[in-house]
Homo-oligomer: A and B are copies of this chain.
Amino acid sequence: MKIVPPYLMFLGDAPDQLGAKTADGVAKWRPDWCLGQLRLEGCQADIGLKDMTLEEAKAAGVKTLILGVTNQGGFFNDSWMETLHGALDLGMDIASGLHMRLGDVPGLGEKAAKLGLQLYDARHPTQDFAVGKAVPRTGKRVLTVGTDVSVGKMFTSLCIEKEMKARGMKADFCATGQTGIFIVGEGVSVDAVVADFISGAAETLSPDNDPDHWDVIEGQGSLMHASYAGVTLGLLHGSQPDAIVLCHEPVRPHMRGTPHIPMPGLQATIDANIAAGRLFNPDIRCIGVSVNTSGLSAVDAAKFLTDTEAELELPCVDAYKDGAARLVDALS
């Protein structure tokens, strides 16, 4: 199953810009695929695309309506029903990033089946996986890892893929979360897989490839996070990465979601990932650090990068601001 572009981004009645974070990420990285946005009355989000009706989107060639809204609880609002049904009536697929499944919306599954259209729930794996076996695979893999959750692992991975493609290298971004899945049209939400199959799902995600091909795998969670480290470890083992890039956000008072737990050290996080990753790829190495410096002044950001680079003896960049050239150099 693959989500077919181009997309119409449905923002519903998102109460603020944060509610459209998923749609915003997709529009940022795949501007060519995102032809417009559809906002309901009261919507307070704007991702800078042309406002379109369903009919205008259809005329413009849209194939899939993306439900790119994040809301508390992950439910479908009644106010969205007209748009969802209308999209199917016009022959568009629908893809959703919510926890609730599109097929559970009354009448939607039947209508899609009848019309031969696709309902794609990016948060729910669409296939069964075998358990991981750690058999060595051909091709090369780089995985982003983090000191914490939401520190820029997806953005850094996309920056690395972009730089590699700009250099004419063979590279693919491998999506492991809903926003990433919309950005490539496929992938696996590894945190939604049954626990026994995390590493197996990761193995499926970056299969054998050409010797000079890089899979750039989007990391999830953090080995140092009390909630999600199991997901992170399974992804690390199943990815068998040749290289990792540490992602970090320097202005956090504590780990996200657990206010009593301080942020871990950068070197300690690298060491934990290398120690675990080495089990199934003895050549694994950390090749650099990507820092989200958006919370720092330009002066403080430059100082943090310089200091961290000296301390860790690794290239240290803000990949989103400055590009991933130095990281890709270190991979060569």
Q: Given A192-B194, A194-B193 in contact, is the A280-B226 Cβ separation under 8 Å?
A: yes
- Whether A226 pairs with B237 at a CB distance below 8 angstroms is yes
Q: Given A193-B195, A195-B190, A231-B230 in contact, is the A224-B133 Cβ separation under 8 Å?
A: no
Centre residue among A132, A224, A227, A233 by max chain B CB count within 10 A: A227
**Copies assembled:** 2
Indicate which residue in B131, B133, B226, B233 contacts A133 across the interface (CB closer than 8 Å): B226
Centre residue among A194, A230, A237 by max chain B CB count within 10 A: A230
Contacts of A228 in B (CB 8 A): 131, 196, 199
Distance, CA A14 to CA B231, complexed state (A): 35
Q: Mark the stretch among A4-12, A66-74, A208-216, A257-265 that contacts chain B.
A: A257-265
Contacts of A223 in B (CB 8 A): 233, 276
- Whether B231 pairs with A237 at a CB distance below 8 angstroms is no
- Whether A231 pairs with B272 at a CB distance below 8 angstroms is no
- Whether B194 pairs with A230 at a CB distance below 8 angstroms is no
Contacts of A195 in B (CB 8 A): 190-195, 198, 230-231, 234
The yes or no answer to A135 lying at the interface (CB within 8 A) is yes
- Whether B279 pairs with A227 at a CB distance below 8 angstroms is no
Contacts of A192 in B (CB 8 A): 194-196
- Nearest 6 CB-CB pairs, A to B? A230-B234, A134-B226, A131-B227, A198-B230, A230-B230, A191-B196
Between A and B, 24 residue pairs with Cβ closer than 8 Å are A131-B228, A133-B257, A134-B260, A134-B261, A191-B196, A192-B196, A193-B195, A194-B195, A196-B228, A198-B230, A199-B226, A199-B230, A223-B233, A223-B276, A226-B279, A229-B233, A229-B276, A230-B231, A230-B232, A231-B234, A264-B279, A272-B275, A272-B276, A275-B275
